[in-house]
Structure 1
């Protein structure tokens, strides 16, 4: 299992599964992060506490704990 938080800057990935609880899962889906969506890793904050990703045309900053709940595979 590979999670979003373990990926490198510049990686393009496909979401396989969201392991988040209901409230967070709904928030991620509202941002377009759902099964089969494509995500690009743009940047990490110092210390990798947050990760900036691109989903469609939207840029989103996720906490490392949130990114750990998103299972992905490389394209």
Structure 2
């Protein structure tokens, strides 16, 4: 059984499947425009200074999210690492 965690709880290089986005409609629309929707695969590429931002890959797209935006995304971890 895979573990459901917040996107910000994933380590660099880990991947997850988006399960839920707990945000207002404006943020949900912004994430949708990036391809971040329920069921999409997302990978943590890197964290910015003081973890204020998180660089992620969705499909072939690299993008940076603010920590508060990423904290709204719940994922099912698909990597075997903890």
TM class, shorter-length: over 0.9
Question: What's the RMSD between the two structures over aligned residues?
Answer: 0.8
- Structure 2: unaligned runs, 5 residues or longer: none
Q: Distance in 2 between matches of 1:42 and 1:69?
A: 18
Q: Distance in 2 between matches of 1:45 and 1:30?
A: 22
Greater C-alpha Rg: 2
1:65 alignment partner, one of 53, 64, 68: 68
- Structure 1: unaligned runs, 5 residues or longer: none
The CA deviation at 1:38 is: 0.1
Pairing 1:1-75 to 2, within 5 Å after superposition: 2-75=5-78
SS at match of 2:18: strand
The CA deviation at 1:12 is: 1.0
TM-score, normalised to structure 1, is 0.96
Q: Does the aligned pair in 1 maintain the 2:5–2:77 contact within 8 Å?
A: no
Moved over 6 A (4+): none
Q: Distance in 2 between matches of 1:67 and 1:6?
A: 10
